[in-house]
Structure 1
Amino acid sequence: MSQGSFVFTPTALRSLERDKELLERQQYQRRLTTPGASSYFLRKEVRERGLASSHRSSQPPAFMCQDPVVQNALYTGNLEAVRQLLSKEAPVNLVIQPQGGDMIWVKEDGLWSLTYEQDLTTPLHITAGRGFTECLKHLLLRGANVDLAPGGTTALHEACQECQPECAKLLLSYGANANAVNEDGLMPLHVCTEQESIDCAKYLLQFGAAVNGRSLEEDDTPLHVASRHGLPDHVNLYLRYGAHLEHQNDEGKTPLNAACAQPQEKATLGRYCQVCQHLIDAGAKVLTEDLQHQTPLHLACKNVNPDVVDLLLKNGARVNDMCYGGNAPMHNVLKEVAYKQDHEPERVVQALLNYGSIRVWPGALPQVLKYCCARPRVIEALLNAYDRLKVTEKWVEAVPSDVFKQHQGFFESVFALTQTPRSLQHLARFKLRTYLDGRLHKVVPTLPLPTFLKKYLLLDFRDYIH
């Protein structure tokens, strides 16, 4: 194919125009038949408040493109082919329906068909999402509509979601709307959900993105999103740009609540602690409850993040507040011990007890032993909060034989209490802890005692029971 030529004939272009009209009618009908669609688009128009710039009306029309040659050039980032195929004589505002792998029901044939239909896209979306900066620049220089969104999302959303900062910067410099709302009610800042998207977030803010813009469905701000995904750099960035700390979303969660509420893998615990530290340093309130009356401490205990629990307790969290379901933070962590053993749940139990948490009702200890026995240090911290224990046969039956063999020394020390009272040393500790109830964490570090005694008073782990 020679330079400047184009694959579409005049007849094909007229066919493209007819396809475009058909596509617009289908999209309009789909909007009308989708439940809640009319209200969504109304809310979108209200939110954007006329942000759709007047220059869009002068943009060239979009054409449906199903040519595999064009699609292949775009998906592979072949700059030379893109320049030849999308030259001055060719339309640049193309709508592409890529091929995927979804089964759909073909009513006329009465069978399922593997049609591979996916969301509509454009050359800008394809190149921006894959980091093909030079191809993207060529399209923009050709006058591609920078905010075209046939599939319900803009190319800027695509670049930010795929962590392509140079493409995001290029789109913004060509007038992309930094506050465009996609079909899910999200602005570009809301889709910056990976650590690698930090530069995208910086460019968005530099080009006027609303740091307190709210998503339409959940009323989340970008700070909620960054906190929920454990992104400390994003949180710091948004705070510097004046992000609101105490805005509560539709679930009543502030960004701090959102960070504590998100299920966390062990590898991400440190990131979430950094996020919470940044938020608290900026003045976030640790006692704010969500709609279920759960405080950040309830949520951090449920997700078993020991460092976050320590941070919240040091900043005034209350250990005995009850949520709507009647659970205190101690209840939340004990329910998760069996599922998050590698999160060191014993540290959470220890911290809560040292800050004056309510204890487990003695009659429920066999049940707790049954579900927490795989983590003996949790049991150790709990049992050391009592001056006497009524160990019965139920206790022995609660521990599976394989767990008993794995931690035999510890459980033998527990079961030995059926015939032996607690040691005098432990009773002295219990008496002092009872006297300092609620003040233990403040007073013990100031006492003129050896370090090992201070640790003993604060339930340091010995891996056996006195």
Structure 2
Amino acid sequence: MSRGSFVFTPMALRSFELDEDMLQTHKYKRQMASHQLSSYMCKKEARDRVLLRSSSALPPAMCHDLVVQNALYTGDLEAMRQLFPRGSTANLIIEPQGGDMHWVARGEGLWSLTYEQELTTPLHITAGRGFTDCLKLLLQRGANVDLAPGGTTALHESCENCQPECTKLLLIHGANANAVSEDGLMPLHICTTSESLECAKHLLQYGAAINGRSVEEENTPLHVAARYGLSDHTELYLRYGAAVDRQNEEGLTPLNAACSQPQEEQDLKRYFQVVQMLRGAGADVHTMDHDKRTPLHMACKHANPDIVDLLLANGACVNDMDYGGEAPMHNILKVVCYKISHQPERIVRALLNHGSIRVWPGALPLVLKHCCQSPRTIEVLLNAYSRLKVTDAWNESVSTEVLKGHKDFYESIFSLALAPRSLQHLARCRLRSFLEGRVHKVVPKLDLPTFIKNYLLLEYRGYLH
């Protein structure tokens, strides 16, 4: 045996033989399906010999001609007019070269490493790139508007790439607005960016199902719009009668879906607008998913204070427990250190003013350790207790770096180890205890100075006393 070689097992040799047979069979089928387009596409003499007949009568042909592909991918209208003259077929299937390698099952427990290539058509290429004139030419040449060799139609392609003119042109020529892709998605489910709004409008005008569900997740277009924080899409779908409380496979309504998405600081406003619209349309703030999480649980987990305020104002329950035994307060305290810029203190304050359960006093040092980078959160949380047992563990919970940045505040906490809380604070705690979960309703109506009302509602002062 030569150096650098290795022995194939009988199983490996058999696998190679099967792979070779499969390749030969595949090659034969491709040859049978091909109509030898290169000759009549590139030479006028051959085109003249093409019989004039309806292109719809011809089966889709495989096209490997790079001249044709280059004209399609670059949107060269003049070249396409020459390549697709009157009487020619535009029903072509194109297999782009390249792709990623992946393992494919060949039967009998054997696998083969093959290039993953997605079949496409001239319509897909031109529609996805916004080549409207080229798309129009292909449609005039009788291209099958709903052909989907790669599992999606050209309409899916135009919507995914936010090409409203191409979307409208396809619909005018009879494209199915409710075509389901290989992944179980209708075109409306693919409108996932703000730039796809015009595509969504065209789809609805041409009969797209406003409550059509995706096959696996059972999402409606409204679920998709809510999940991506698309306020204009949400408004459009509600205007067309979208079901506001329909649940998907996970038990999420569009409102739950909007609240459950991770949100960066720049996303907070648009997700709030979506939730505001859904609530205005009558969305139920109490609906739980399969894990018994309410929209409030999710809004606290992703620290959107405006959404939390809106949900609480509309009757959301602050002490509902999910299957893990956690209330909304647990969710916000877990993420405080990651969401400082989201103003988590606003959420903690709102929950406490609406009667939320408090942290077990013995766990306060642990909470202090995880939330110490947000002094306001700590201040609000500790002001909900009439008595605190401050020990050395509290000092150890605050890092030197944080202590240096907020020295006065944390020294006011540690000083409570030697002195009780002030009489003013004890009076506040007594009144809040008496009102229980009605603090947010009763205090604003009291005939008291504004600064006292704010004090009762746990306004931030930057220290404890």
Q: TM-score range by the shorter chain?
A: 0.7 to 0.9
Determine the structure 2 residue equivalent to 1:254: 253
Q: 1:433 to 1:94 in 2, by over 3 A?
A: same
Corresponding position: 1:69 with 2:71: no
SS at match of 2:337: coil
Determine the structure 1 residue equivalent to 2:109: none
The amino acid across from 2:455 in the alignment is: Y
User: What's the CA shift for 1:309?
Assistant: 0.3
Question: In the alignment, is the contact (CA less than 8 A) between 2:303 and 2:332 conserved in 1?
Answer: yes
Q: Which residue of the other structure, out of 69, 83, 88, is the alignment partner of 1:85?
A: 83
Tell me the alpha carbon deviations over residues 61-108 of structure 1, each in whole angstroms, 9 at most, x when there is no partner. 111112222111111111111222222354311111223441346999
Tell me the alpha carbon deviations over residues 116-172 of structure 1, each in whole angstroms, 9 at most, x when there is no partner. 643111111111111111111111111100000000000101111111111100000
Question: In the alignment, is the contact (CA less than 8 A) between 1:16 and 1:63 conserved in 2?
Answer: no
Tell me the alpha carbon deviations over residues 19-46 of structure 1, each in whole angstroms, 9 at most, x when there is no partner. 27569xxxxxxxxxxxxxxxxxxxxxxx
In the alignment, the residues of structure 1 paired with residue 55 and residue 79 of structure 2 have an alpha-carbon distance, to the nearest angstrom, of 30
Q: Which residue of the other structure, out of 23, 30, 37, is the alignment partner of 1:19?
A: 30
In the alignment, the residues of structure 2 paired with residue 166 and residue 96 of structure 1 have an alpha-carbon distance, to the nearest angstrom, of 23
In the alignment, the residues of structure 2 paired with residue 353 and residue 201 of structure 1 have an alpha-carbon distance, to the nearest angstrom, of 42
In the alignment, the residues of structure 1 paired with residue 405 and residue 73 of structure 2 have an alpha-carbon distance, to the nearest angstrom, of 55
Q: How does 1:54-453 map to 2 (within 5 A)?
A: 58=56, 60-104=58-102, 117-453=116-452
User: What's the CA shift for 1:60?
Assistant: 2.9
The amino acid across from 1:291 in the alignment is: H
Question: In the alignment, is the contact (CA less than 8 A) between 2:55 and 2:88 conserved in 1?
Answer: no
Question: In the alignment, is the contact (CA less than 8 A) between 1:97 and 1:117 conserved in 2?
Answer: no
Question: In the alignment, is the contact (CA less than 8 A) between 2:55 and 2:90 conserved in 1?
Answer: no
User: What's the CA shift for 1:333?
Assistant: 0.7
Q: 1:137 to 1:354 in 2, by over 3 A?
A: same
User: What's the CA shift for 1:376?
Assistant: 1.3
In the alignment, the residues of structure 1 paired with residue 417 and residue 329 of structure 2 have an alpha-carbon distance, to the nearest angstrom, of 26
Determine the structure 1 residue equivalent to 2:40: none
Q: 1:59 to 1:408 in 2, by over 3 A?
A: farther
Pair member with larger Rg:
2
Question: In the alignment, is the contact (CA less than 8 A) between 1:306 and 1:345 conserved in 2?
Answer: yes
Tell me the alpha carbon deviations over residues 366-408 of structure 1, each in whole angstroms, 9 at most, x when there is no partner. 0101111111111111001001100101111111111111111
Question: In the alignment, is the contact (CA less than 8 A) between 2:88 and 2:141 conserved in 1?
Answer: no
Determine the structure 2 residue equivalent to 1:50: none
User: What's the CA shift for 1:426?
Assistant: 1.4
In the alignment, the residues of structure 1 paired with residue 316 and residue 453 of structure 2 have an alpha-carbon distance, to the nearest angstrom, of 23
Tell me the alpha carbon deviations over residues 342-380 of structure 1, each in whole angstroms, 9 at most, x when there is no partner. 211111111100100000000000010111111111111
Question: In the alignment, is the contact (CA less than 8 A) between 2:260 and 2:299 conserved in 1?
Answer: yes
Tell me the alpha carbon deviations over residues 304-337 of structure 1, each in whole angstroms, 9 at most, x when there is no partner. 1100000000000000010111000000111111
After TM superposition, the score normalised by the length of structure 2 is 0.86
SS at match of 2:62: strand
Q: 1:107 to 1:366 in 2, by over 3 A?
A: closer
Q: 1:422 to 1:207 in 2, by over 3 A?
A: same
Question: In the alignment, is the contact (CA less than 8 A) between 2:89 and 2:142 conserved in 1?
Answer: no
Question: In the alignment, is the contact (CA less than 8 A) between 2:56 and 2:143 conserved in 1?
Answer: no
User: What's the CA shift for 1:435?
Assistant: 1.4
In the alignment, the residues of structure 1 paired with residue 400 and residue 82 of structure 2 have an alpha-carbon distance, to the nearest angstrom, of 73
Question: In the alignment, is the contact (CA less than 8 A) between 1:17 and 1:63 conserved in 2?
Answer: no
Question: In the alignment, is the contact (CA less than 8 A) between 1:65 and 1:94 conserved in 2?
Answer: yes
User: What's the CA shift for 1:250?
Assistant: 0.7
In the alignment, the residues of structure 2 paired with residue 349 and residue 226 of structure 1 have an alpha-carbon distance, to the nearest angstrom, of 28
The amino acid across from 1:453 in the alignment is: I
Tell me the alpha carbon deviations over residues 445-466 of structure 1, each in whole angstroms, 9 at most, x when there is no partner. 1112222222111111112112
In the alignment, the residues of structure 1 paired with residue 209 and residue 55 of structure 2 have an alpha-carbon distance, to the nearest angstrom, of 25
Question: In the alignment, is the contact (CA less than 8 A) between 1:16 and 1:65 conserved in 2?
Answer: no
Question: In the alignment, is the contact (CA less than 8 A) between 1:92 and 1:143 conserved in 2?
Answer: yes
Question: In the alignment, is the contact (CA less than 8 A) between 1:59 and 1:145 conserved in 2?
Answer: no
The amino acid across from 1:165 in the alignment is: P
The amino acid across from 2:30 in the alignment is: D
The amino acid across from 1:65 in the alignment is: C
SS at match of 1:95: strand
In the alignment, the residues of structure 2 paired with residue 354 and residue 184 of structure 1 have an alpha-carbon distance, to the nearest angstrom, of 46
In the alignment, the residues of structure 2 paired with residue 105 and residue 95 of structure 1 have an alpha-carbon distance, to the nearest angstrom, of 23
Alignment RMSD (CA, Å): 2.4
The amino acid across from 1:331 in the alignment is: H
After TM superposition, the score normalised by the length of structure 1 is 0.85
Tell me the alpha carbon deviations over residues 400-437 of structure 1, each in whole angstroms, 9 at most, x when there is no partner. 11111111121111111111211122112111111111
The amino acid across from 2:100 in the alignment is: D
Higher mean C-alpha deviation, range 326-335 or range 455-464:
455-464
SS at match of 1:64: strand
Q: 1:244 to 1:105 in 2, by over 3 A?
A: closer
The amino acid across from 1:164 in the alignment is: Q
Q: 1:78 to 1:246 in 2, by over 3 A?
A: same
User: What's the CA shift for 1:262?
Assistant: 1.2
Q: 1:395 to 1:100 in 2, by over 3 A?
A: farther
Task: Figure out how many residues of one structure are paired with residues of the other and give that number.
Answer: 418
